[in-house]
Structure 1
Amino acid sequence: MAKLNSLGFDRAPEDTRVLVAMSGGVDSSVVAAQLKSEGYDVVGVTLQLYDHGAALAKKGACCAGRDIHDARRVAEVMNFPHYVLDYENKFRESVIDEFADAYLAGATPIPCIRCNERVKFRDLLETAKDLDADCMATGHYIQRKMGAGGAELHQAADPTRDQSYFLFSTTQDQLDYLRFPLGHLKSKEETRALAAKYGLSVADKPDSQDICFVPNGSYAAVIEKLRPDAAQPGEIVHLDGRVMGSHKGVIHYTIGQRRGLGIGGGEPLYVVKLDAEKKQVIVGPKTALATRNVPIKEVNWIGPGRFEDAPEGGWPIRVKVRSTRPPKDAILRPTGPNTGNVELFLAEEGVAPGQACVFYGLDDTRVLGGGWITRPEVLAA
């Protein structure tokens, strides 16, 4: 049997073309530089996702003008071709518009997942194939491992950098084509050391913290710019029906929020539900944030077998309902071809519609897929 190269192909690196999605940050820059140093036929591509001169753009955010410049410099230093593709219209249609609409509907969307799903791993991946690339590599911290049934998705070796929550919608076909060369690294320091080794100017570049088109993390400001009539005033209502005060727009609130409600006095109250139709922010005690039943839609299953063919009683799994929380034991029961209900063994607080519920194996690091949370059942106060 022929010896496989580091990307899993039975040919020399120089006979293997790989498109590297380059954001201009240290992670994707290291991926491109490392693959080029190993002799691969590297093609770098950076996506222009929005108008860099617009107020939405944030200096230093992903794919801003500076980042395109940084990606181009890495390509020059390492001597491989680099292209910038204008994906502004695709990004607005596939990501930004839905982000705005979801917020107006009282949900808490995660545009980074939609960007991976609908732009990078769909449109860009097709571009990679058009360029006759054998695979596409990214700087995501997640591992692709070969199992008995083919390519599997696994959490990163460094749990503090793991990005599996944001990649749950990766399909099996996409996974067969994708590569994640940084997933096995134990720390970000290792990545920066590699950047220094290759003489990259981005070796000490800070990580971007915000969503690329949301300056300073102010979601409401972006929504008001995209949808000028978005901020409709309404009432702040207690779960028991009492009107506690007024607000200037549902878009200014998130599930689990306590500070900034402006209703003062008495017991601590939290946002437990947003009713965009009635323009109501519903509040209650912290206990009302807890739920054990999480309905989900748009399920993507990359686990063993078919999602609908769950064992009797459901799929025993672990789930994340927030990117920053560790996986918790649960049972996943399909309710349709791509819908289901997750029953958590222990109640979780602040489960919000629009967030992702990501599935993991019980005893390993394998990512089994995930779905989007719809209206969860809120426990009575």
Structure 2
Amino acid sequence: MELNKNKVLLGLSGGVDSATAALLLKEKGFSVTGYYFDVAGNNIKGRDEAAAVAEQLGIDFIYEDVSKDFGEIVIGNFIDEYLHGRTPNPCVMCNPNVKFKHLIHHADEIGAYYIATGHYCRVFHDENDGEFYIRRAVNEKKDQSYMLYRLGQEVVSRLIFPLGEFLSKDETRELARENSLQNAEKKDSQEICFIDPMDNYAEYIKRAGYTSRPGNFVDKNGNVLGKHQGILNYTIGQRKGLGIALGKPAFVTKIDYEKNTVTLGDNEDLFNTSVISCNNVFTAYSAEIYDGKEVLAKVRYSAKPAKATIKADGNRIIATFEEPQRAATPGQSIVFYEGDHVIGGGFISE
């Protein structure tokens, strides 16, 4: 089927961001179809809210149960990472492997060239090399480019982010109010979409039938300080809820799956200038092209981009920062930027 550049398939969650994105796309003359992907498989409330928004906006609506893919790819990885002492980011796994994969599939089915979401970021098209890149949003506090670094050209080249130029979330809500959107005052979604805000990840994993055995808290020299309750309960930088009193503030500085130990130390022990990543992907070129290049890099979603030099070392990237970075956490991502656009990233290994 030939794809129509006037048609767009929009990820429609039922929230104010995606609803406002639909409104903006319609104003630009696009024929918009809303797509709700149900990660739980039984989220009737979420489906009905999204369908109601689609009806109010007068756009077509597609519902899909993606719980099988989501469970195997995202939740499976989430549990496995915590059991091995790493701290995953489910959105980073979901975006390329579930959300945008299904968006592209259904866009092709309905003949829509473009796909869109309510993410706060932009797309940059480099006319010199013809490549497309994820670009940071105008509103840096809301910028979500970090979560999208694993998307390839086949996705990014067809992406529209209608909210990328907005200066604040208030601007989004104000536009929704002006157009009497029924979800203009709806609260923002929770951090981990498949875990209730009143719950916590460790209890979720335990209810799924998994556990990790108790072991030793140690200091950086290997001296035993006490007993921990299983490595899945801890993450790098954690200070609260350790269950041990040392007479001074203590932070988790390392988790060793093989030895089943959790290392505790001072806040200063969390700072490093070198971060190593694996399973790296680059948006347009191979890692070798960027070898020795100075870039900006983020070691977590909320971090500010910081200057670093990257070195390609086989399957690894070694990023050396000008300023020490706090609590670079195995399992989380390091994302590389050239100016304000994403060039690649990988999973932090050490």
* TM-score of the superposed pair, with normalisation by structure 1: 0.86
What does residue range 165-244 of structure 1 map to in structure 2 within 5 Å?
Answer: 165-216=146-197, 218-226=200-208, 228-244=209-225
Indicate the residue corresponding to 2:31 in structure 1.
41
Q: 1:267-304 CA distances to partner (integer Å, 9 max, x unpaired)?
A: 4321111122332211122222121111111212125x
Given that 1:36 and 1:80 are in contact with CA atoms closer than 8 Å, whether structure 2 keeps it comes out as no
- After the TM superposition, which of the residue ranges 294-303 and 93-102 deviates more from structure 2? 294-303
SS of 1:278's partner is: coil
What does residue range 26-65 of structure 1 map to in structure 2 within 5 Å?
Answer: 26-52=16-42, 64-65=43-44
Q: 1:309 to 1:39 in 2, by over 3 A?
A: closer
- Indicate yes or no: 2:336 matched with 1:356: no
Indicate the residue corresponding to 2:122 in structure 1.
143
Q: 1:348-380 CA distances to partner (integer Å, 9 max, x unpaired)?
A: 12111001101112xx31221211111x2xxxx
Q: Equivalent of 1:346, from 313, 323, 347? A: 323
Indicate the residue corresponding to 2:78 in structure 1.
99
SS of 1:215's partner is: coil
SS of 1:23's partner is: coil
- Indicate yes or no: 2:345 matched with 1:367: no
Return the offset for 1:51. Answer: 4.1
Return the offset for 1:15. Answer: 6.8
- After the TM superposition, which of the residue ranges 266-275 and 82-91 deviates more from structure 2? 266-275
- Structure 1: which amino acid aligns with 2:257? A
What does residue range 279-298 of structure 1 map to in structure 2 within 5 Å?
Answer: 279-298=260-279
- After the TM superposition, which of the residue ranges 152-161 and 269-278 deviates more from structure 2? 269-278
Aligned residues: 345
Q: 1:13-38 CA distances to partner (integer Å, 9 max, x unpaired)?
A: x9711101111111111111222243
d(CA) in 2 for partners of 1:79, 1:254: 46
Indicate the residue corresponding to 2:10 in structure 1.
20
Indicate the residue corresponding to 1:88 in structure 2.
67
Indicate the residue corresponding to 2:101 in structure 1.
122
SS of 1:265's partner is: coil
Given that 2:8 and 2:32 are in contact with CA atoms closer than 8 Å, whether structure 1 keeps it comes out as yes
- Structure 1: which amino acid aligns with 2:344? G
Indicate the residue corresponding to 2:133 in structure 1.
152
Indicate the residue corresponding to 1:58 in structure 2.
none
Q: Which structure 2 residue ranges, 5 or more long, are not aligned?
A: none
Given that 2:5 and 2:112 are in contact with CA atoms closer than 8 Å, whether structure 1 keeps it comes out as no
SS of 2:79's partner is: helix
Query: Would you tell me which structure has more strand in proportion to its own residues?
Result: 2
SS of 2:35's partner is: strand
Given that 2:216 and 2:260 are in contact with CA atoms closer than 8 Å, whether structure 1 keeps it comes out as yes
d(CA) in 1 for partners of 2:56, 2:290: 51
Q: Equivalent of 1:329, from 286, 307, 317? A: 307
Q: 1:311-349 CA distances to partner (integer Å, 9 max, x unpaired)?
A: 5xx11101000111101110011113x531111112112
d(CA) in 1 for partners of 2:88, 2:263: 19
Identity, in percent, stands at: 37
Given that 2:217 and 2:263 are in contact with CA atoms closer than 8 Å, whether structure 1 keeps it comes out as yes
Q: Which structure 1 residue ranges, 5 or more long, are not aligned?
A: 1-10, 53-63, 377-381
Indicate the residue corresponding to 1:276 in structure 2.
257
Q: Which aligned runs of 4 or more in structure 1 are off by greater than 4 angstroms? A: none
- After the TM superposition, which of the residue ranges 29-38 and 133-142 deviates more from structure 2? 29-38
- Indicate yes or no: 2:298 matched with 1:320: yes
SS of 1:308's partner is: helix
Q: 1:57-86 CA distances to partner (integer Å, 9 max, x unpaired)?
A: xxxxxxx43332221111111211111101
d(CA) in 2 for partners of 1:230, 1:259: 20
Q: 1:91-142 CA distances to partner (integer Å, 9 max, x unpaired)?
A: 0111000110000000000001111111112232122112211110110100
Indicate the residue corresponding to 1:60 in structure 2.
none
SS of 2:112's partner is: coil
Return the offset for 1:254. Answer: 0.8
- RMSD of aligned Cα (Å): 1.8
- Structure 2: which amino acid aligns with 1:296? S
SS of 2:81's partner is: helix
Return the offset for 1:246. Answer: 1.1
d(CA) in 2 for partners of 1:157, 1:105: 37
Return the offset for 1:204. Answer: 0.6
d(CA) in 1 for partners of 2:90, 2:337: 22
Given that 1:33 and 1:74 are in contact with CA atoms closer than 8 Å, whether structure 2 keeps it comes out as no
d(CA) in 1 for partners of 2:341, 2:304: 14
